[in-house]
Copies of this chain bind each other. A is one copy, B any other.
Amino acid sequence: MTCELCDRTGGELLWQGERCRVIYVEEPGYPGFCRVVWESHVKEMTDLSDDDRMHFMEVVFAVEAVLREHLDPEKINLACLGNAVPHLHWHVIPRYADDPHFPQPIWGKSQRTAAASRVHPDTAMLAGEIAAALD
């Protein structure tokens, strides 16, 4: 079996823990989009132990808090899907009223082109803030 989240980091590494990692997703129109990826190949949240599951969520919410504090989004979207890549990962997506799909989910119908003024944040800053929250 090959799995892209077993074989590769999946994006720029912002934080590496023993059980999961945080990566930056350079998606056009979506500044601040991060993923939290479980290290081992597990399919569902309820396949994890209680302790692992709550740790994973604490990391997701730490990332949410950093993104809210530094990027001031209109809304945070959280999703754990994995239909195509059944290796647990959370999408943590800052949403803005002028982003390409708002108020639709980012997987929905495009509503507009990305605003040129929305640029990707300093990922070293994000990495530092996530480390400060988690380490």
**How many identical chains are in the complex?**
2
Number of interface residues of A (CB under 8 A): 30
Stretch at the interface among A4-12, A23-31, A78-86: A78-86
Q: Are B75 and A46 in contact (CB under 8 A)?
A: no
Digitize A98-120: 1 where CB-to-B-CB distance is under 8 Å, 0 elsewhere.
00001111011000000000000
Alpha-carbon distance A81/B79, docked complex (angstroms): 8
- Known contacts A54-B54, A105-B107, A107-B105; A65/B46 CB under 8 A: yes
Report A32-56 CB contacts with B as 1/0, cut-off 8 Å. 0000000000011110000001100
Q: A65-87 vs B: 1/0 string, CB under 8 Å?
A: 10010000011111111111010
Contact A78 B79 (CB under 8 A): yes
B contact residues around A75 at 8 Å (CB): 43-44, 81-83, 86
- Check if A77 sits within 8 Å of B79, measured CB to CB: yes
Closest approach, in angstroms, between the C-beta of A77 and any C-beta of chain B?
A: 5
Name the residue of chain B whose CB is nearest to the CB of A78: B80
